[in-house]
Amino acid sequence: MKFNTLLAGAVSVFALLASQTVNAKSVTDEDISNSAKATDQVVTNGLGTQGQRYSTLDKINPATISKLQPVWAFSFGGEKMRGQEAQPLVQDGTIYVTGSYSRMFAVDVHTGQKKWQYEARLPDDILPCCDVVNRGAALYDNLVIFGTLDAKLIALDKETGKVVWKKDIEDYTGGYSYTAAPLIVKGKVITGVSGGEFGIVGKVEARDAKTGELIWSRPTVEGHMGMLNGKDNGITGVTNASWPGDLWKSGGAAPWLGGTYDPETNLIYMGTGQPGPWNSHIRPGDNLYSSSTLAIDPETGKIVWSYQTTPHDGWDFDGVNEFVSFDLNKDGKTIKAGATASRNGFFFVLDRTNGKFISATPFVSKITWAKGYTKDGRPEYIDDNRPGAPTADGQKGKVVFSAPSFLGGKNWMPMAYSQDTKLFYVPSNEWGMDIWNEPVSYKRGAAYLGAGFTIKPLYDDHIGVLRAIDPSTGKIVWEYNNKAPLWGGVLATKGNVVFTGTPEGYLKAFNAKTGAEVWKFNTGSGVVGSPITWEENGEQYVAVLSGWGGAVPLWGGEVAKQVKDINQGGMLWVFKLPKS
């Protein structure tokens, strides 16, 4: 009897401890809301839903960084070594990170030991545009949620890696795919789609994060019907208002990079891709809502405001780059602002409450397609630099040299904002392209470009440039030139340090105020992922993925030839600053 009583008591204690452990491991809405200030975990892509990629940690600084050392490295293994573009997440002793070919890994923070691995069973006929990359996951409750190249959204149990739910985002045979890190907003998982090169119709959707059930869907091409709780929820824009004929039915505008969320305005910010096809002469008009930043109500999926960075895009400049919320001090006033560094070469600052245009300033050395922007935020086109229409007998149109190239003044790789220096740190590239238009017609699941191109570097000694930009003036405060293109994300810290990676294999750190290089470590393959930092037991850690790939070696023309000898890889590197 006494034994049974003791056993029952032990079981009760064990059950209590187990329930406490489960609760400790759950990621809550409060965790996500506070993620920008948390120092002991990284539970959101962007180190906070606003996407500033700023950490309040300062143990690693220019005076101490020489002591930063590798702790362990974890190999993704296998033969699936292509571009590793993800940002890791860290919570409760585990790092969660996605790899190329839609893989997910859970790794012990302290030892580098794999806890579990999940590999999506991808069909042979997937249609990814720009390598088989995956840019990360989302954590919520006891789930880790990520998307796959065959356009599925999968939720795994964080402890076991077992599938909890799986949903189709779209039909991959129509050209759809998914590569972004999902965004969690008030218990909803927010996703876009990839596939703008295939004449798909872009959309932003919200699902119940615990079940995967669809709540709302908002098309990002004018003329398509939205949905809320299974019912029609209004057409996006006005049918044919900015699209001729039926071209809106295959209009692209894919929000393929994912979004940010600002709790102060209660708005989701999503960037959209180029209109389809690239040949702009087929589709006169602004072609809403392509190449735009959209502000979306998270409860209804309605578009609250929009701003189009490149109306009637004819260069594949997109508008998909991340929109980062920050407070702008200008003329003695504090403005709730947001910024995006566009592929078209301009750095934009908008009022994030209403989308009002504040400024657009060049952040690359050469822009040939526009002279600038009007006070109303409209581009002043240089008409001679738009690729010519194909001839009546079906020959390609006039070839023009355009800068930036369609790979952009800045592509997908996320910038960072420092709350200390009030500067944005933008990974940019100096290249242009010969581009021309060709005849094209839409066919489901086939490339829908109507254009040809050859990318060329602008300078012999560098392509990549890390730039520190003052958003109040557009002034470039400092810049660092890199021989190869920059294709990885940036991290800023209170320790006056900025981290980013290079294709040459280095994770590098710079003085945030001066741009002086203060540390570097070669990881063995190109770094195109996004670094993170956190603190544990009084020690500051840094982690980053290493593994060369992405769009540059696939689409880079003459630039691709320059980087063809960079070895591929798939490693998660973790560093720390020891207490001693």
Task: Identify the pLDDT of residue 3.
Answer: 35
Does the pLDDT of residue 29 top 90, yes or no?
yes
Does the pLDDT of residue 407 top 60, yes or no?
yes
Report the pLDDT averaged over residues 529-536.
Answer: 98
CA distances from 286 to 31, 133, 243, 244, 275 (A): 40, 31, 7, 10, 10
Using an 8 Å Cβ cutoff, are 431 and 463 in contact?
A: yes
Average pLDDT, the chain: 94
DSSP label at residue 30: H
319: closest CA among 372, 269, 261?
A: 269
Exposure b/e, 466-479, CB count within 10 A at least 16 = b: bbbbebbebebbbb
Task: Identify the pLDDT of residue 550.
Answer: 92
The three-state secondary structure class of 562 is helix
Domain edges within the chain: 27-577
Contacts of 76 (CB under 8 A, 6+ apart): 84, 99, 100, 103, 105, 547, 570, 571, 572
CATH of 27-577, one of 2.40.110.10, 3.30.70.20, 2.140.10.10, 3.40.605.10: 2.140.10.10
Contacts of 275 (CB under 8 A, 6+ apart): 221, 251, 252, 253, 283, 287, 290, 291, 312, 313
289: closest CA among 221, 195, 238, 336?
A: 221
Does the pLDDT of residue 15 top 50, yes or no?
no
Task: Identify the pLDDT of residue 23.
Answer: 40
Report the pLDDT averaged over residues 336-352.
Answer: 98
Tokens of 490: 């940036």
Task: Identify the pLDDT of residue 4.
Answer: 43
Contacts of 79 (CB under 8 A, 6+ apart): none
Does the pLDDT of residue 175 top 80, yes or no?
yes
Contacts of 171 (CB under 8 A, 6+ apart): 151
Half-sphere exposure for 248 (CA within 13 Å, toward CB): 23
Strand order in the sheet with 152-157: 138-140, 143-147, 152-157, 163-168
> What is the tens place of the pLDDT at every residue in 88-135?
999 999 999 999 999 999 999 999 999 999 999 999 999 888 899 999
Active site residues: 316
Does the pLDDT of residue 22 top 90, yes or no?
no
577: closest CA among 530, 515, 509, 501?
A: 509
Residues pairing with 99 in the sheet: 103
The three-state secondary structure class of 318 is coil
Q: CB atoms < 10 A from the CB of 142, how many?
A: 18
DSSP label at residue 230: T
Distance CA 546, CA 97 (A): 12
> What is the tens place of the pLDDT at every residue in 284-335?
999 999 999 999 999 999 999 999 999 999 999 999 999 999 999 988 899 9
% of the chain with per-residue pLDDT over 90:
90
Does the pLDDT of residue 2 top 70, yes or no?
no
Distance CA 414, CA 427 (A): 8
State in Å, rounded, how far the first CA of the chain is from the last one: 54
Distance CA 155, CA 333 (A): 44
Backbone angles phi, psi at 53, to 5 degrees: 55, 50
Lowest mean pLDDT of 15-19, 237-241, 507-511, name the range.
Answer: 15-19
Task: Identify the pLDDT of residue 399.
Answer: 97
Model confidence, pTM: 0.95
Distance CA 365, CA 359 (A): 18
The three-state secondary structure class of 281 is helix
Where is 548: in which H helix or E strand?
none
Contacts of 178 (CB under 8 A, 6+ apart): 147, 148, 149, 151, 152, 153, 169, 191, 192, 193, 194
Q: How confident is the model at residue 21 (pLDDT cuts 50, 70, 90)?
A: very low
Task: Identify the pLDDT of residue 24.
Answer: 47
Distance CA 84, CA 550 (A): 8
Report the pLDDT averaged over residues 445-464.
Answer: 96
Q: Are strands 54-55 and 490-493 parallel, antiparallel or unpaired?
A: parallel
Q: How confident is the model at residue 475 (pLDDT cuts 50, 70, 90)?
A: very high
Does the pLDDT of residue 17 top 80, yes or no?
no
Does the pLDDT of residue 14 top 70, yes or no?
no
Backbone angles phi, psi at 18, to 5 degrees: -65, -45
Task: Identify the pLDDT of residue 571.
Answer: 96
Does the pLDDT of residue 7 top 80, yes or no?
no
> What is the tens place of the pLDDT at every residue in 47-94?
999 999 999 999 999 999 999 999 999 999 877 788 999 999 999 999
Using an 8 Å Cβ cutoff, are 160 and 106 in contact?
A: no
